[in-house]
């Protein structure tokens, strides 16, 4: 029997963008973003700029039409995640990034999940592996073949 959904989930850009831009990579979970319907969604303040940049780049690289980007943006805004208001502890961020082999940006997601005792929704394999090592639940769990990539 699958574990119940977590109360809170930190969502990273890779997770959301996979669904709203319909990238060519396979979707590991068939429920898509509806998987998050009953969860409190959390993001670091960086998330907004990261998502916006990804949408702009997808359009510039002709990976998504302006119409598709508009639809993706509407789906993203409908999620209404809580943006973390805590200022970044730069020393802690550097320490966590070093310890986990992540970028300082990705370490923000991990730190937020740790601090808020939340699960993490990501399709970034390095971040998922670091989360597992730190005892952070992945939601949804990534398939073994994705995690070993």
Q: Is residue 4 part of a domain?
A: no
Q: Mean of the per-residue pLDDT values for the chain?
A: 88
Residue 117 clears pLDDT 80, i.e. is over it? yes
More confident: 14 or 1: 14
Under DSSP, the state recorded for 134 is: T
Q: Which residue has the tokens 């977590």?
A: 6
Domain count, the chain: 1
CATH number for position 45: 3.40.50.1010
- 13 belongs to a structural domain: yes
Q: Is residue 23 part of a domain?
A: yes
Is 73 within a domain?
A: yes
Residue 24 has pLDDT above 60, yes or no: no
Q: For 64-108, what is each residue's pLDDT tens digit?
A: 899 989 998 998 999 999 999 999 999 999 999 999 999 999 999
What is the phi/psi pair of residue 9, to 5°?
-135, 130
- Tokens of residue 101, six digits: 């082999």
In a domain, 18, yes or no: yes
For residues 88 and 41, give the distance between their C-alpha atoms in angstroms, rounded to a whole number: 19
- How many CB atoms are located within 10 Å of the residue 14 CB? 20
- For residue 68, tell me if it sits in a domain: yes
Confidence of residue 20 (pLDDT cuts 50, 70, 90): confident
CA within 13 Å, CB half, 99: 13
Quote the DSSP letter at residue 96.
H
Specify if 113 maps to a domain.
yes
Does the residue 43 lie in any domain? yes
In the sheet with 119-121, reading across from the earlier edge strand, the strands are 82-83, 40-43, 8-11, 119-121
62: containing domain: 9-147
Neighbours of 137 (CB within 10 A): 16
């Amino acid at each position: 029997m699958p574990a119940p959904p977590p109360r809170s989930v930190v969502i990273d850009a890779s997770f959301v963008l996979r669904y709203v831009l319909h990238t060519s990579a396979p979707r590991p979970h068939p429920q898509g973003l509806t998987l998050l319907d009953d969860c409190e969604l959390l993001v670091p303040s960086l998330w907004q700029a990261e998502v916006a940049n990804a949408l702009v780049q997808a359009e510039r690289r002709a990976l998504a039409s302006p119409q598709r980007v508009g639809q993706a943006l509407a789906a993203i805004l409908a999620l209404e995640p809580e943006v973390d208001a805590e200022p970044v502890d730069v020393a802690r961020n550097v320490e966590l990034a070093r310890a986990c082999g992540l970028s300082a940006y990705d370490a923000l997601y991990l730190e937020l999940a740790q601090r808020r005792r939340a699960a993490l929704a990501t399709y970034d394999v390095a971040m998922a592996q670091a989360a597992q090592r730190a005892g952070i639940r992945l939601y949804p769990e990534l398939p073994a073949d994705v995690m070993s990539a």
